[in-house]
Protein backbone atom coordinates (compact mmCIF):
# COMPACT_ATOMS: atom_id res chain seq x y z
CA UNK A 1 0.00 0.00 0.00
CA UNK A 2 1.22 3.47 -0.80
CA UNK A 3 1.90 5.21 2.48
CA UNK A 4 0.88 8.65 1.25
CA UNK A 5 -2.48 7.34 0.08
CA UNK A 6 -3.02 5.49 3.31
CA UNK A 7 -2.67 8.73 5.30
CA UNK A 8 -4.63 10.97 2.97
CA UNK A 9 -7.79 11.09 5.11
CA UNK A 10 -5.81 12.21 8.16
CA UNK A 11 -3.97 15.17 6.68
CA UNK A 12 -6.80 17.64 6.52
CA UNK A 13 -6.49 21.41 6.80
CA UNK A 14 -6.19 22.95 10.30
CA UNK A 15 -9.53 24.76 9.98
CA UNK A 16 -11.34 21.52 9.18
CA UNK A 17 -9.61 19.76 12.06
CA UNK A 18 -10.80 22.49 14.41
CA UNK A 19 -14.46 22.43 13.41
CA UNK A 20 -14.61 18.64 13.45
CA UNK A 21 -12.95 18.70 16.91
CA UNK A 22 -15.49 21.19 18.22
CA UNK A 23 -18.33 18.96 17.02
CA UNK A 24 -16.85 15.96 18.81
CA UNK A 25 -16.38 17.99 22.00
CA UNK A 26 -19.97 19.22 22.04
CA UNK A 27 -21.27 15.73 21.37
CA UNK A 28 -19.16 13.98 24.00
CA UNK A 29 -19.56 16.66 26.65
CA UNK A 30 -23.34 16.41 26.52
CA UNK A 31 -25.18 18.32 29.25
CA UNK A 32 -23.17 20.95 31.06
CA UNK A 33 -23.75 23.85 33.42
CA UNK A 34 -22.22 26.58 31.27
CA UNK A 35 -23.98 29.60 29.77
CA UNK A 36 -23.82 30.24 26.00
CA UNK A 37 -21.20 32.94 26.71
CA UNK A 38 -19.07 30.64 28.85
CA UNK A 39 -19.26 27.59 26.63
CA UNK A 40 -16.81 28.75 23.89
CA UNK A 41 -14.15 29.15 26.59
CA UNK A 42 -14.79 25.67 27.97
CA UNK A 43 -14.87 24.20 24.47
CA UNK A 44 -11.51 25.69 23.56
CA UNK A 45 -9.99 24.52 26.85
CA UNK A 46 -11.14 20.97 26.15
CA UNK A 47 -9.83 21.31 22.61
CA UNK A 48 -6.40 22.26 23.96
CA UNK A 49 -6.26 19.56 26.64
CA UNK A 50 -8.50 16.72 25.39
CA UNK A 51 -9.58 16.64 29.01
CA UNK A 52 -13.31 16.68 29.72
CA UNK A 53 -12.74 16.39 33.45
CA UNK A 54 -10.75 19.63 33.35
CA UNK A 55 -13.38 21.26 31.15
CA UNK A 56 -16.24 20.32 33.44
CA UNK A 57 -14.40 21.83 36.40
CA UNK A 58 -13.97 25.30 34.97
CA UNK A 59 -15.51 27.93 37.24
CA UNK A 60 -16.58 31.38 36.08
CA UNK A 61 -17.32 34.50 38.05
CA UNK A 62 -20.68 35.61 36.61
CA UNK A 63 -19.17 38.68 34.96
CA UNK A 64 -15.99 37.00 33.72
CA UNK A 65 -16.60 36.47 30.02
CA UNK A 66 -18.11 39.90 29.48
CA UNK A 67 -15.24 41.52 31.41
CA UNK A 68 -12.65 39.63 29.37
CA UNK A 69 -14.22 40.60 26.06
CA UNK A 70 -14.52 44.20 27.21
CA UNK A 71 -10.87 44.33 28.34
CA UNK A 72 -9.70 43.03 24.98
CA UNK A 73 -11.96 45.34 23.01
CA UNK A 74 -10.73 48.36 24.94
CA UNK A 75 -7.09 47.46 24.29
CA UNK A 76 -6.14 46.56 27.86
CA UNK A 77 -2.93 44.63 28.34
CA UNK A 78 -2.83 40.90 28.78
CA UNK A 79 -0.29 39.81 31.37
CA UNK A 80 1.13 36.30 31.01
CA UNK A 81 2.86 34.66 33.95
CA UNK A 82 5.40 32.89 31.75
CA UNK A 83 6.71 33.14 28.20
CA UNK A 84 4.92 29.97 27.06
CA UNK A 85 1.60 31.69 27.75
CA UNK A 86 2.76 34.85 26.01
CA UNK A 87 3.77 33.12 22.78
CA UNK A 88 0.70 30.89 22.72
CA UNK A 89 -1.81 33.73 22.68
CA UNK A 90 -2.82 34.72 19.16
CA UNK A 91 -1.52 38.28 18.76
CA UNK A 92 -3.31 39.75 15.72
CA UNK A 93 -6.73 39.67 17.42
CA UNK A 94 -5.35 41.40 20.52
CA UNK A 95 -3.35 43.98 18.60
CA UNK A 96 -6.32 44.83 16.40
CA UNK A 97 -7.89 46.47 19.47
CA UNK A 98 -4.64 48.14 20.53
CA UNK A 99 -3.71 45.61 23.17
CA UNK A 100 -0.55 43.61 23.79
CA UNK A 101 0.52 40.44 25.57
CA UNK A 102 3.25 41.07 28.11
CA UNK A 103 5.36 38.97 30.44
CA UNK A 104 7.57 40.37 33.17
CA UNK A 105 9.10 37.30 34.80
CA UNK A 106 12.44 37.52 33.00
CA UNK A 107 12.81 41.30 33.15
CA UNK A 108 16.17 42.26 34.68
CA UNK A 109 14.54 44.51 37.30
CA UNK A 110 12.19 41.69 38.33
CA UNK A 111 15.02 39.19 38.65
CA UNK A 112 17.10 41.63 40.68
CA UNK A 113 14.25 42.53 43.03
CA UNK A 114 13.36 38.86 43.60
CA UNK A 115 16.95 38.13 44.53
CA UNK A 116 17.12 41.12 46.84
CA UNK A 117 13.91 40.15 48.66
CA UNK A 118 14.69 36.41 48.57
CA UNK A 119 11.33 35.66 46.98
CA UNK A 120 10.10 34.25 43.66
CA UNK A 121 10.38 36.04 40.33
CA UNK A 122 6.72 35.11 39.82
CA UNK A 123 5.68 37.22 42.83
CA UNK A 124 7.76 40.22 41.82
CA UNK A 125 6.54 39.98 38.22
CA UNK A 126 2.96 40.39 39.46
CA UNK A 127 3.94 43.47 41.47
CA UNK A 128 5.38 44.95 38.31
CA UNK A 129 2.33 43.85 36.29
CA UNK A 130 -0.15 45.73 38.46
CA UNK A 131 1.83 48.92 37.86
CA UNK A 132 1.94 48.33 34.09
CA UNK A 133 -1.43 46.75 33.29
CA UNK A 134 -4.30 48.24 35.24
CA UNK A 135 -7.61 46.80 34.14
CA UNK A 136 -5.83 44.12 32.15
CA UNK A 137 -6.31 40.38 31.87
CA UNK A 138 -3.98 38.31 34.05
CA UNK A 139 -3.33 34.90 32.50
CA UNK A 140 -1.66 32.67 35.08
CA UNK A 141 -1.07 29.04 34.20
CA UNK A 142 1.98 28.11 36.18
CA UNK A 143 3.03 29.83 39.36
CA UNK A 144 0.64 29.57 42.31
CA UNK A 145 2.82 32.14 44.04
CA UNK A 146 2.03 34.65 41.29
CA UNK A 147 -1.69 34.04 41.64
CA UNK A 148 -1.58 34.28 45.44
CA UNK A 149 0.35 37.54 45.28
CA UNK A 150 -2.14 38.97 42.79
CA UNK A 151 -5.03 37.94 45.06
CA UNK A 152 -3.31 39.61 48.00
CA UNK A 153 -2.91 42.84 46.02
CA UNK A 154 -6.56 42.77 44.97
CA UNK A 155 -7.66 42.31 48.58
CA UNK A 156 -5.44 45.12 49.76
CA UNK A 157 -6.64 47.45 46.99
CA UNK A 158 -3.28 47.52 45.21
CA UNK A 159 -4.47 45.78 42.05
CA UNK A 160 -7.54 46.23 39.85
CA UNK A 161 -7.47 43.49 37.20
CA UNK A 162 -10.14 43.46 34.53
CA UNK A 163 -10.12 39.67 34.64
CA UNK A 164 -7.99 37.03 36.32
CA UNK A 165 -7.60 33.74 34.47
CA UNK A 166 -5.98 31.70 37.22
CA UNK A 167 -5.28 28.07 36.39
CA UNK A 168 -1.84 27.19 37.70
CA UNK A 169 -1.10 23.48 37.40
CA UNK A 170 0.57 21.55 40.16
CA UNK A 171 0.67 19.58 43.36
CA UNK A 172 1.72 22.22 45.86
CA UNK A 173 -0.39 25.36 46.40
CA UNK A 174 -2.03 25.26 42.96
CA UNK A 175 -5.50 24.05 44.02
CA UNK A 176 -5.28 26.20 47.16
CA UNK A 177 -4.49 29.33 45.15
CA UNK A 178 -7.57 28.68 43.00
CA UNK A 179 -9.72 28.22 46.11
CA UNK A 180 -8.62 31.69 47.20
CA UNK A 181 -9.31 33.13 43.76
CA UNK A 182 -12.91 31.86 43.83
CA UNK A 183 -13.53 33.87 46.99
CA UNK A 184 -12.87 37.17 45.19
CA UNK A 185 -15.76 39.24 43.93
CA UNK A 186 -14.04 40.40 40.78
CA UNK A 187 -14.15 38.71 37.36
CA UNK A 188 -12.20 35.44 37.29
CA UNK A 189 -12.00 32.20 35.34
CA UNK A 190 -10.46 29.27 37.18
CA UNK A 191 -10.85 25.53 37.71
CA UNK A 192 -11.19 23.15 40.60
CA UNK A 193 -8.19 21.00 41.45
CA UNK A 194 -4.60 20.57 40.37
CA UNK A 195 -4.86 20.71 36.61
CA UNK A 196 -4.32 23.73 34.38
CA UNK A 197 -1.18 25.07 32.75
CA UNK A 198 0.01 27.25 29.90
CA UNK A 199 -1.96 25.61 27.10
CA UNK A 200 -5.21 25.80 29.05
CA UNK A 201 -4.81 29.48 29.93
CA UNK A 202 -3.84 30.27 26.36
CA UNK A 203 -7.00 28.53 25.14
CA UNK A 204 -9.14 30.66 27.46
CA UNK A 205 -7.59 33.92 26.29
CA UNK A 206 -7.83 32.93 22.63
CA UNK A 207 -11.50 32.03 23.07
CA UNK A 208 -12.21 35.46 24.57
CA UNK A 209 -10.27 37.19 21.79
CA UNK A 210 -12.30 35.36 19.14
CA UNK A 211 -15.51 36.46 20.87
CA UNK A 212 -14.20 40.03 21.09
CA UNK A 213 -13.52 39.98 17.36
CA UNK A 214 -16.94 38.58 16.50
CA UNK A 215 -18.62 41.36 18.44
CA UNK A 216 -16.79 43.93 16.31
CA UNK B 1 -6.30 37.99 60.28
CA UNK B 2 -3.32 39.37 58.44
CA UNK B 3 -3.55 38.18 54.86
CA UNK B 4 0.19 37.94 54.35
CA UNK B 5 0.59 35.74 57.40
CA UNK B 6 -2.30 33.56 56.35
CA UNK B 7 -0.60 32.76 53.05
CA UNK B 8 2.91 32.33 54.42
CA UNK B 9 2.95 28.52 54.26
CA UNK B 10 1.97 28.54 50.59
CA UNK B 11 4.63 30.85 49.22
CA UNK B 12 7.59 28.52 49.28
CA UNK B 13 10.53 28.65 46.91
CA UNK B 14 10.16 27.02 43.47
CA UNK B 15 12.82 24.39 44.25
CA UNK B 16 10.96 23.29 47.39
CA UNK B 17 7.66 23.20 45.50
CA UNK B 18 9.25 20.94 42.91
CA UNK B 19 10.73 18.39 45.30
CA UNK B 20 7.55 18.25 47.38
CA UNK B 21 5.55 17.78 44.16
CA UNK B 22 7.79 14.93 43.03
CA UNK B 23 7.29 13.19 46.38
CA UNK B 24 3.52 13.47 46.05
CA UNK B 25 3.64 12.14 42.48
CA UNK B 26 5.71 9.09 43.43
CA UNK B 27 3.44 8.36 46.36
CA UNK B 28 0.16 8.73 44.47
CA UNK B 29 1.34 6.96 41.32
CA UNK B 30 2.26 3.84 43.28
CA UNK B 31 3.17 0.81 41.17
CA UNK B 32 3.99 1.55 37.55
CA UNK B 33 5.52 -0.23 34.57
CA UNK B 34 8.38 2.21 33.92
CA UNK B 35 12.12 1.53 34.16
CA UNK B 36 14.32 3.70 36.42
CA UNK B 37 15.52 5.52 33.27
CA UNK B 38 11.99 6.17 32.03
CA UNK B 39 10.49 7.21 35.34
CA UNK B 40 11.98 10.75 35.54
CA UNK B 41 10.33 11.54 32.20
CA UNK B 42 6.96 10.26 33.39
CA UNK B 43 7.32 12.06 36.70
CA UNK B 44 8.01 15.39 35.02
CA UNK B 45 5.11 14.90 32.62
CA UNK B 46 2.75 14.30 35.54
CA UNK B 47 4.27 17.32 37.29
CA UNK B 48 3.46 19.49 34.26
CA UNK B 49 -0.07 18.16 33.75
CA UNK B 50 -1.25 16.95 37.17
CA UNK B 51 -2.65 14.11 35.14
CA UNK B 52 -1.87 10.57 36.31
CA UNK B 53 -3.96 9.03 33.54
CA UNK B 54 -1.77 10.76 30.98
CA UNK B 55 1.37 9.72 32.88
CA UNK B 56 0.37 6.07 33.03
CA UNK B 57 -0.23 6.03 29.30
CA UNK B 58 3.22 7.18 28.25
CA UNK B 59 4.85 4.64 25.92
CA UNK B 60 8.60 4.39 25.38
CA UNK B 61 10.53 2.69 22.62
CA UNK B 62 13.09 0.63 24.58
CA UNK B 63 16.00 2.79 23.42
CA UNK B 64 14.22 6.14 23.75
CA UNK B 65 15.65 7.62 26.93
CA UNK B 66 19.22 6.63 26.15
CA UNK B 67 18.86 8.00 22.60
CA UNK B 68 17.45 11.28 23.90
CA UNK B 69 20.24 11.75 26.43
CA UNK B 70 22.84 10.87 23.79
CA UNK B 71 21.36 13.33 21.28
CA UNK B 72 21.47 16.14 23.83
CA UNK B 73 24.98 15.28 25.00
CA UNK B 74 26.27 15.27 21.45
CA UNK B 75 24.75 18.69 20.76
CA UNK B 76 22.09 17.58 18.28
CA UNK B 77 19.33 20.03 17.50
CA UNK B 78 15.95 19.87 19.16
CA UNK B 79 13.11 20.61 16.76
CA UNK B 80 9.91 22.01 18.27
CA UNK B 81 6.70 21.88 16.27
CA UNK B 82 5.47 25.22 17.63
CA UNK B 83 6.91 28.22 19.43
CA UNK B 84 5.28 27.33 22.76
CA UNK B 85 7.38 24.16 22.85
CA UNK B 86 10.49 26.08 21.86
CA UNK B 87 10.21 28.68 24.61
CA UNK B 88 9.25 26.12 27.25
CA UNK B 89 12.39 24.03 26.90
CA UNK B 90 15.12 25.07 29.31
CA UNK B 91 17.91 26.37 27.08
CA UNK B 92 21.06 26.51 29.27
CA UNK B 93 21.22 22.72 29.64
CA UNK B 94 20.86 22.20 25.89
CA UNK B 95 23.31 24.92 24.95
CA UNK B 96 25.90 23.60 27.39
CA UNK B 97 26.34 20.63 25.05
CA UNK B 98 26.32 22.80 21.92
CA UNK B 99 22.71 22.15 20.99
CA UNK B 100 19.84 24.48 20.20
CA UNK B 101 16.05 24.41 20.16
CA UNK B 102 14.64 25.36 16.78
CA UNK B 103 11.20 25.88 15.31
CA UNK B 104 10.51 26.28 11.61
CA UNK B 105 6.75 26.69 11.40
CA UNK B 106 6.78 30.47 11.05
CA UNK B 107 9.80 30.70 8.73
CA UNK B 108 8.93 32.70 5.60
CA UNK B 109 10.11 29.91 3.27
CA UNK B 110 7.94 27.38 5.12
CA UNK B 111 4.88 29.60 4.98
CA UNK B 112 5.40 30.25 1.28
CA UNK B 113 5.92 26.58 0.41
CA UNK B 114 2.82 25.53 2.40
CA UNK B 115 0.74 28.05 0.49
CA UNK B 116 2.17 26.94 -2.83
CA UNK B 117 1.45 23.26 -2.13
CA UNK B 118 -1.89 23.97 -0.41
CA UNK B 119 -0.83 22.01 2.64
CA UNK B 120 -0.16 22.75 6.31
CA UNK B 121 2.79 24.78 7.58
CA UNK B 122 3.28 21.97 10.10
CA UNK B 123 4.00 19.48 7.32
CA UNK B 124 6.38 21.76 5.47
CA UNK B 125 8.17 22.68 8.71
CA UNK B 126 8.97 18.99 9.23
CA UNK B 127 10.38 18.73 5.70
CA UNK B 128 12.66 21.64 6.50
CA UNK B 129 13.54 20.17 9.89
CA UNK B 130 14.84 16.90 8.48
CA UNK B 131 17.23 18.87 6.29
CA UNK B 132 18.41 21.01 9.22
CA UNK B 133 18.41 18.63 12.18
CA UNK B 134 19.63 15.14 11.30
CA UNK B 135 19.86 12.95 14.37
CA UNK B 136 17.99 15.53 16.40
CA UNK B 137 15.11 15.29 18.83
CA UNK B 138 11.70 16.07 17.34
CA UNK B 139 9.34 17.45 19.97
CA UNK B 140 5.80 17.47 18.59
CA UNK B 141 2.98 18.46 20.91
CA UNK B 142 0.40 19.96 18.61
CA UNK B 143 0.12 19.11 14.96
CA UNK B 144 -0.76 15.52 14.09
CA UNK B 145 0.00 16.42 10.48
CA UNK B 146 3.59 17.24 11.46
CA UNK B 147 3.99 13.91 13.23
CA UNK B 148 2.44 11.95 10.34
CA UNK B 149 4.71 13.67 7.84
CA UNK B 150 7.75 12.90 9.96
CA UNK B 151 6.69 9.24 10.21
CA UNK B 152 6.27 9.12 6.45
CA UNK B 153 9.76 10.51 5.93
CA UNK B 154 11.26 8.01 8.38
CA UNK B 155 9.55 5.13 6.56
CA UNK B 156 10.73 6.37 3.20
CA UNK B 157 14.29 6.85 4.43
CA UNK B 158 14.20 10.64 4.14
CA UNK B 159 14.50 11.33 7.88
CA UNK B 160 16.77 9.93 10.58
CA UNK B 161 15.65 11.43 13.91
CA UNK B 162 17.60 10.63 17.04
CA UNK B 163 14.35 10.57 18.99
CA UNK B 164 10.75 11.48 18.24
CA UNK B 165 8.71 12.81 21.15
CA UNK B 166 5.28 12.68 19.58
CA UNK B 167 2.39 13.73 21.79
CA UNK B 168 0.05 15.92 19.78
CA UNK B 169 -3.15 16.72 21.65
CA UNK B 170 -6.51 16.64 19.97
CA UNK B 171 -9.65 15.01 18.71
CA UNK B 172 -8.87 14.56 15.03
CA UNK B 173 -5.87 12.46 13.92
CA UNK B 174 -3.90 12.94 17.17
CA UNK B 175 -4.41 9.45 18.63
CA UNK B 176 -4.09 7.92 15.16
CA UNK B 177 -0.76 9.67 14.54
CA UNK B 178 0.55 8.24 17.82
CA UNK B 179 -0.62 4.76 16.84
CA UNK B 180 1.49 5.09 13.70
CA UNK B 181 4.48 6.36 15.67
CA UNK B 182 4.41 3.30 17.93
CA UNK B 183 4.86 1.06 14.90
CA UNK B 184 8.24 2.57 14.09
CA UNK B 185 11.39 0.82 15.18
CA UNK B 186 13.31 3.97 16.02
CA UNK B 187 13.47 5.73 19.41
CA UNK B 188 10.20 7.39 20.34
CA UNK B 189 8.29 8.62 23.37
CA UNK B 190 4.53 8.93 22.95
CA UNK B 191 1.26 8.32 24.76
CA UNK B 192 -1.97 6.49 24.15
CA UNK B 193 -5.02 8.56 23.33
CA UNK B 194 -5.92 12.17 22.70
CA UNK B 195 -4.03 13.97 25.42
CA UNK B 196 -0.63 15.62 25.11
CA UNK B 197 0.33 19.15 24.13
CA UNK B 198 3.12 21.67 24.43
CA UNK B 199 3.59 21.54 28.20
CA UNK B 200 3.80 17.74 28.19
CA UNK B 201 6.37 17.60 25.40
CA UNK B 202 8.39 20.35 27.07
CA UNK B 203 8.38 18.33 30.31
CA UNK B 204 9.74 15.28 28.49
CA UNK B 205 12.57 17.22 26.86
CA UNK B 206 13.48 18.98 30.09
CA UNK B 207 13.58 15.63 31.93
CA UNK B 208 15.99 14.25 29.33
CA UNK B 209 18.15 17.37 29.51
CA UNK B 210 18.40 17.10 33.29
CA UNK B 211 19.48 13.45 32.92
CA UNK B 212 22.00 14.44 30.25
CA UNK B 213 23.46 17.03 32.60
CA UNK B 214 23.67 14.61 35.53
CA UNK B 215 25.62 12.16 33.42
CA UNK B 216 28.21 14.85 32.68
pLDDT < 50 regions, chain A: 1-11
pLDDT digits (tens, 9 = 90+) for B29-46: 999 999 999 999 999 999
DSSP H stretches of helix in B30-98:
39-49, 52-56, 64-73, 83-88, 91-96
Helix (H/G/I), strand (E/B), else coil: B170: coil
- CB neighbour class for B79 (10 Å; exposed up to 12, middle 13-18, buried from 19): buried
User: Is any Cβ of chain B less than 8 angstroms from the Cβ of A119?
Assistant: yes
Alpha carbon of A19: minimum distance to chain B alpha carbons (Å): 10
Measured between beta carbons, the chain A residues lying within 8 angstroms of B197 are 48-49, 199
Nearest-angstrom CA–CA distance, A36 and A38 = 6
Nearest-angstrom CA–CA distance, A19 and B21 = 37
pLDDT at B199 over 90: yes
Residue B1 pLDDT = 35
pLDDT digits (tens, 9 = 90+) for A4-37: 444 444 445 777 888 999 999 999 999 999 999 9
Reported confidence tier of residue B147, pLDDT bands at 50, 70, 90: very high
- Binary contact (B170, A21; C-beta < 8 A): yes
Alpha carbon of B118: minimum distance to chain A alpha carbons (Å): 9
Residue A12 pLDDT = 58
User: Is any Cβ of chain B less than 8 angstroms from the Cβ of A199?
Assistant: yes
Could you tell me the domains of chain B?
59-214 (3.40.50.10230)
- CB neighbour class for A115 (10 Å; exposed up to 12, middle 13-18, buried from 19): exposed
- Binary contact (A51, B51; C-beta < 8 A): yes
Alpha carbon of B65: minimum distance to chain A alpha carbons (Å): 24
- CB neighbour class for A196 (10 Å; exposed up to 12, middle 13-18, buried from 19): buried
Mutate to test the interface with A, among B8, B9, B11, B27 (most CBs of A within 10 A): B11
Nearest-angstrom CA–CA distance, B81 and B138 = 8
Q: Could you tell me the strand order of the sheet in which A163-166 lies? A: A58-60, A188-191, A163-166, A137-140, A78-80, A101-103
Which of A10, A84, A196 is the closest to B87 by Cβ? A84
Nearest-angstrom CA–CA distance, A200 and A204 = 6
Mutate to test the interface with A, among B2, B5, B19, B49 (most CBs of A within 10 A): B49
Measured between beta carbons, the chain B residues lying within 8 angstroms of A144 are 10, 17
- Span of A29-38, A61-70, B9-18, B71-80 with lowest mean pLDDT: B9-18
Residue B12 pLDDT = 58
What number is the ipTM of this complex?
0.92
The per-residue pLDDT of chain B, averaged, comes to: 93
Residue B203 pLDDT = 98
Residue B114 pLDDT = 94
Amino acid sequence: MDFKTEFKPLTVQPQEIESKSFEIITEELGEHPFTPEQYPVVQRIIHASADFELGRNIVFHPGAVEAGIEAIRSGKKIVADVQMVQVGISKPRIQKFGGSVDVYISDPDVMEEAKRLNTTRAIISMRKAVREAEGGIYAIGNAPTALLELIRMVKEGEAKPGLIIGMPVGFVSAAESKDELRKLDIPFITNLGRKGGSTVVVAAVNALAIMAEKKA
